[in-house]
Amino acid sequence: MLKCSAFSSNKTYMLKCYTFSSNKTYNVRFFTTFAAPATFPDSDFSDDTQDLVIHDKDLLRKSRRDSGTGLHVLDLIHRGSLEPDRSLYNTLFKKCTLLKKLDEARIVHAHINASLFMDDLVMQNTILNTYCKCGSLDDAHNLFEEMPVKDMVTWTALITGYSQNDQPLNALVLFPQMLRLELKPNQFTLSSVLKASGTGISDKYGRQVHAFCFKYGYVWNVYVGSSLLDMYARFGRMDDAWLVFDKLESKNEVSWNALIAGHARKGEGEHALKMFSGMLRQGFEPTHFTYSSVFTALASMGSLEQGKWVHAHVIKSGGKLIAYVGNTLLDMYAKSGSIDDARKVFNRLERRDVVSWNSMITGYAQHGHGKEAVRWFAEMLRIRIVPNEITFLCVLTACSHAGLLDEGQKCFELMKKYSIEPQEAHYVTMVDLLGRAGRLDQAMKFIIKLPVEPTAAVWGALLGACRIHKNMDLGTYAAERIFEFDPHDSGPHVLLANMYASAGRLCDAAKVRKMMKESGLKKEPACSWVETKNAIHMFVANDDAHPQREEIRKVWDEIYGKIKEIGYIPDSSHVLFYADQQEREAKLQLHSEKLALAYALMTTPPGFTIWIKKNIRVCGDCHSAFKFASKVVVREIIVRDTNRYHHFRDGFCSCGDYW
């Protein structure tokens, strides 16, 4: 709050300002284009005041430094010292928007309501927009309802407000209402409506808006086009996104970023990286948005070398590691297996937020360092970083994978202290934690006591644990509960059949297989990928299509012989559909990850770390074989399955056989 007095000469005003907050008095020379005010007393000036010089164009900058909104100007207006004009109010609203000062915006609004601008449509639109930018859609909506006259900008401002404040449905409801009034949307309206259309489960609405973009002639506009391709990309329709991108009349960083982000979200790292190179070739400067999407893409590829190359770009660009880029960068290093580099990035971050901590905890957990993950969680709490629901999920998963039963239970209890309501994923992980640790009865009691109806995923976690600990009765019960949700889900059928097979109950396993056959259920085909010499090779079990199949099998046969010599015993319970023991053992050696390993050994130099990715959980027999293989071939083998990472080195796996 400022108290001011002033005098003027030729549009230069000398203001005496006293701030109650800091108990300081300022002599302020205020150069302005405002009309000359009435006379001012100059007797208030004292000698012990500080001098500031402010030009009206500097008002925004100066008051930003003072962390105020410059509302003292309103006092001047109120005292008749200044005659308000549009640019003064606009400056104040800009300031409120910038600092998200809702209360101040309300004060300026009240002031305007008592001024000549009371019924000014443009001014009303500005106020409405300020409320939206300050996050108060209630204020914006109230004003919208009160406005006797509304134009296209009024509607667009409110639509944009809802779209930008996570209320897409409200935005989508307003759009047709606006059209019914025969107000013609422009590029601002359409890009906001498209942003709102990018949420939800279907692109049906977005496609309709696409038609409106054609109708009104904005489809090739870079703003509308970028929103349009982003909308398609969010629904995974990259072909449609590309069609829009290719036809844009001009492209900018945002169009490129939207496309890169689309590929990154789909886990199409290669495409995202190609786009990044293309963007550089065409002379576009990558932004924070670009880098965070590219690192997300690289994280999904686990491609450390390419990750380092892009990291070098960021360093060359000289930018600071802001939260988004820094967090995705450290996640990339963690997911690429280099937890040390991830920690270095973490240490260099300008600001470490809950996402930075979660990423480190997950990094440790996924690479088998459960205790380290728990230690980081404790440190995070010690320095009073407030955990979120993802933090707890990360820590619970870490505990579950590392067999840290007590720590996991304590972590679950701690959620109450932070007022975080457990979600389905937390319950699933708790059942997993108890079940893997062999506490199947406790897991069952936990499910019974759940405050919500247990889901198929909860029963699935119990079934998985029953398979590990060979508890047929409880496993069968869990499987039956899952079938009640979805009798056509092949996953639990396979798990159940595996469970019977590994317990030697081949007749029961055969019954499940028969049931699957009769219902037309097919097991999801297991695939493994291996990256060599900048190309990605995919393998499926019993792969007969690969041009080098003979050589691949020869290499694996050689390894198979060697690992058997040092203790590998094939576990044929992981083969479902063959009754003959010899045939089962033969099929076991043709699992996709084994073929991928053989191919990687053929095509990479000695000592080179081998990276394999798998679309489902790594098979138990392959896990055992890889441990022995890592010793025989003297290589580090990293397998990333849907659950976690396995670092096989010198006969051991980082997961400690607990996955």
Partner DNA sequence: TTAGGGTTAG
What residues numbered 132-151 form the site for DNA, per CB under 7 A?
Answer: 133, 151
Name the residue with tokens 């996050």.
135
Kindly state the tokens that stand for 210. 């696409």
Q: Residue 99 interacts with DNA (CB under 7 A)?
A: no
Q: Residue 296 interacts with DNA (CB under 7 A)?
A: yes
The smaller minimum CB distance to DNA, of residues 373 and 541, is found at: 373
Q: Residue 324 interacts with DNA (CB under 7 A)?
A: yes
The smaller minimum CB distance to DNA, of residues 53 and 122, is found at: 122
Q: Tell me how far apart the alpha carbons of residues 24 and 17 are, in angstroms, rounded to a whole number.
A: 8
Do strands 24-31 and 50-55 pair parallel, antiparallel, or not at all (unpaired)?
parallel
Taking alpha carbons only, the member of 25, 339, 9 closest to residue 17 is 25
Quick one: which of 192, 338, 572, 573 contacts DNA (CB under 7 A)? Answer: 192
Phi-psi region of 217 (alpha: psi -120 to 50; beta: other; left: phi over 0): left
Q: Which stretch of DSSP H or E encloses residue 377?
A: helix 370-382
Q: Which stretch of DSSP H or E encloses residue 16?
A: strand 12-19
Q: Residue 325 interacts with DNA (CB under 7 A)?
A: yes
Please report how close the Cβ of residue 125 comes to DNA at its closest, in angstroms: 3
Q: Residue 264 interacts with DNA (CB under 7 A)?
A: yes
The smaller minimum CB distance to DNA, of residues 84 and 225, is found at: 225
Q: Residue 92 interacts with DNA (CB under 7 A)?
A: no
Q: What is the dihedral of CA 273, 276, 277, 278, to 10 degrees?
A: 120
Q: Which of residues 161-180 bind DNA (CB under 7 A)?
A: 163-164
Q: Residue 641 interacts with DNA (CB under 7 A)?
A: no
What is the CB-side half-sphere exposure of residue 68 using CA atoms within 13 A?
A: 15
The smaller minimum CB distance to DNA, of residues 369 and 553, is found at: 369
The angle subtended at Cα 65 by Cα 59 and Cα 69, nearest 5°, is 55
The angle subtended at Cα 470 by Cα 465 and Cα 473, nearest 5°, is 90
Q: Residue 191 interacts with DNA (CB under 7 A)?
A: yes
The distance from CA 114 to its chain's CA centroid, rounded to whole angstroms, is: 46
Please report how close the Cβ of residue 354 comes to DNA at its closest, in angstroms: 6
Q: Which of residues 598-637 bind DNA (CB under 7 A)?
A: none
Which residues lie below 8 Å from residue 266, measured CB to CB, with a gap of 6+? Answer: 236, 238
Length of the chain: 659
The smaller minimum CB distance to DNA, of residues 330 and 597, is found at: 330
Q: Residue 44 interacts with DNA (CB under 7 A)?
A: no
- Which stretch in 152-160, 477-485, 541-549, 554-562 sits in contact with DNA by CB under 7 A? 152-160
- Which stretch in 1-9, 292-300, 622-630, 648-656 sits in contact with DNA by CB under 7 A? 292-300
Please report how close the Cβ of residue 433 comes to DNA at its closest, in angstroms: 12
Q: Residue 199 interacts with DNA (CB under 7 A)?
A: no
Q: Which of residues 455-494 bind DNA (CB under 7 A)?
A: none
Taking alpha carbons only, the member of 475, 407, 459, 469 closest to residue 438 is 469
Q: Residue 409 interacts with DNA (CB under 7 A)?
A: no
Phi, psi of 624 (to 5 degrees): -65, -45
- Which stretch in 17-25, 252-260, 539-547, 631-639 sits in contact with DNA by CB under 7 A? 252-260
The smaller minimum CB distance to DNA, of residues 392 and 599, is found at: 392
Q: Residue 369 interacts with DNA (CB under 7 A)?
A: no
The smaller minimum CB distance to DNA, of residues 38 and 378, is found at: 378
Quick one: which of 5, 136, 160, 528 contacts DNA (CB under 7 A)? Answer: 160
Please report how close the Cβ of residue 641 comes to DNA at its closest, in angstroms: 11
Q: Tell me how far apart the alpha carbons of residues 223 and 246 are, in angstroms, rounded to a whole number.
A: 14
- End-to-end C-alpha distance for the chain, whole angstroms: 61
Q: Tell me how far apart the alpha carbons of residues 594 and 568 are, in angstroms, rounded to a whole number.
A: 14
Which residues lie below 8 Å from residue 267, measured CB to CB, with a gap of 6+? Answer: 297, 300
Kindly state the tokens that stand for 84. 């308000």
Q: Tell me how far apart the alpha carbons of residues 9 and 583 are, in angstroms, rounded to a whole number.
A: 102
**Across the beta sheet with 645-649, what order do the strands follow?**
535-540, 527-532, 610-614, 637-640, 645-649, 652-653
Q: Which of residues 299-318 bind DNA (CB under 7 A)?
A: 299
Do strands 12-19 and 645-649 pair parallel, antiparallel, or not at all (unpaired)?
unpaired
Please report how close the Cβ of residue 463 comes to DNA at its closest, in angstroms: 14
The smaller minimum CB distance to DNA, of residues 19 and 615, is found at: 615
Kindly state the tokens that stand for 392. 């707890």
The smaller minimum CB distance to DNA, of residues 59 and 224, is found at: 224
Kindly state the tokens that stand for 40. 């001012």
Q: Quote the strand ranges of 96-217, DSSP E.
A: none
Phi-psi region of 147 (alpha: psi -120 to 50; beta: other; left: phi over 0): beta
The smaller minimum CB distance to DNA, of residues 284 and 577, is found at: 284
Q: Which of residues 67-86 bind DNA (CB under 7 A)?
A: 86
- Which stretch in 44-52, 71-79, 260-268, 605-613 sits in contact with DNA by CB under 7 A? 260-268
Q: Which of residues 331-360 bind DNA (CB under 7 A)?
A: 331, 353-356, 358-359
Q: Which of residues 549-588 bind DNA (CB under 7 A)?
A: none
- How many residues touch DNA (CB under 7 A)? 77
Binding mask 218-237 toward DNA (x if CB under 7 A, else -) reads: ---xxxxxxx--x-------
Q: Which of residues 497-516 bind DNA (CB under 7 A)?
A: none
Q: How many CB atoms lie within 10 A of CB 383?
A: 8
Q: What is the DSSP letter of 573?
A: G
- Which stretch in 11-19, 287-295, 406-414, 589-597 sits in contact with DNA by CB under 7 A? 287-295
The smaller minimum CB distance to DNA, of residues 59 and 264, is found at: 264
**CA-CA distances (angstroms) from residue 609 to 64, 101, 414, 589, 634?**
53, 54, 39, 22, 10
Please report how close the Cβ of residue 225 comes to DNA at its closest, in angstroms: 7
The smaller minimum CB distance to DNA, of residues 264 and 595, is found at: 264
Which residue type is seen at 268? Answer: E
Quick one: which of 81, 306, 327, 528 contacts DNA (CB under 7 A)? Answer: 327
Q: Residue 428 interacts with DNA (CB under 7 A)?
A: yes
